[in-house]
């Protein structure tokens, strides 16, 4: 593989990455018994600095809520009796829209088993399930620095990217917060 170096314009020869064999996995619906394993895997992947978005947090409540609302679109990939990946999504209807959306909220694969087609299997199965349930658009989102996820989604036909800006304000320095702390600290 050859490409032009952005640094000095020289032709750089890169060896293509050796392709790893696809991992045989069973993709099936998430069960109650899988929740601890999925939670633990997600904790390793969605660390605070790697969270796909600021407005969602990876915690047990989120997982249990998805499991209870839309079990048919919560999938796990199992290999050797172990959960090695998951794709958790739900159907969404927007007010005043005739369209039904399939939203893939969390997708993750064990770090040691990446680039072996596990997420691809999960995504295909989830896509079929969304289609069966008459979703017409599938939505995904991720941090713009998450190059692996972006490459993955683009490879699988996702596009029409819309950028969204999150703003935050630290409320600890707000005068009301300061006053509140002072009141709480006042001796009786």
Ligand X SMILES: CC(C)(COP(=O)(O)OP(=O)(O)OC[C@H]1O[C@@H](n2cnc3c(N)ncnc32)[C@H](O)[C@@H]1OP(=O)(O)O)[C@@H](O)C(=O)NCCC(=O)NCCS
| Comparison of 106 and 130: residue with beta carbon closer to ligand X | 106
Smallest distance from ligand X to CB 148, Å: 3
Structural tokens at position 81: 């009796």
Does position 26 bind ligand X by CB under 6 A?
A: no
Tell me the closest approach of the beta carbon of residue 52 to ligand X, in angstroms: 4
By CB under 6 A, tell whether 89 contacts ligand X.
Answer: no
- Write out the binding residues for ligand X, residues 100-139 only, by CB under 6 A: 106-109, 114-120
Give the span between the Cα atoms of 6 and 108, in whole angstroms: 32
Mark 33-55 as b/e (b = at least 16 C-beta within 10 Å): ebbebbbebbeebbeeeebbeee
- List the x/- string, 136-155, binding to ligand X by CB under 6 A: ------x---xxxx-xx--x
Pure H helices in the chain: 35-45, 60-69, 118-132, 147-155, 175-185
* C-alpha distances out from residue 5 to 10, 17, 147, Å: 5, 18, 20
| Number of residues engaging ligand X in binding (CB under 6 A) | 21
Nearer of residues 50 and 174 to ligand X, judged by Cβ: 50
Residues that bind ligand X (CB under 6 A): 45, 52, 106-109, 114-120, 142, 146-149, 151-152, 155
């Amino acid at each position: 593989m050859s490409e032009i170096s952005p640094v000095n314009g020289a032709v750089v020869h890169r060896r293509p990455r050796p392709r790893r064999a696809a991992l045989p996995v069973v993709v099936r619906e998430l069960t109650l018994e899988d929740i601890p394993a999925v939670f633990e895997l997600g904790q390793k992947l969605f660390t605070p600095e790697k969270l796909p978005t600021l407005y969602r947090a990876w915690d047990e409540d989120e997982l249990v809520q998805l499991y209870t609302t839309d079990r048919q679109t919560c999938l796990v990939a199992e290999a050797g009796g172990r959960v090695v990946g998951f794709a958790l999504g739900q159907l969404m209807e927007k007010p005043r829209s005739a369209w039904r959306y399939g939203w893939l909220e969390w997708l993750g694969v064990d770090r040691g088993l990446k680039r072996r087609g596990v997420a691809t299997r999960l995504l295909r199965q989830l896509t079929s399930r969304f289609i069966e349930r008459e979703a017409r658009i599938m939505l995904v989102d991720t941090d713009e620095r998450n190059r692996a996820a972006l490459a993955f989604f683009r490879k699988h036909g996702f596009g029409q990217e819309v950028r969204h800006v999150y703003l935050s304000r630290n409320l600890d320095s707000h005068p009301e917060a300061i006053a509140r702390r002072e009141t709480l600290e006042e001796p009786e």
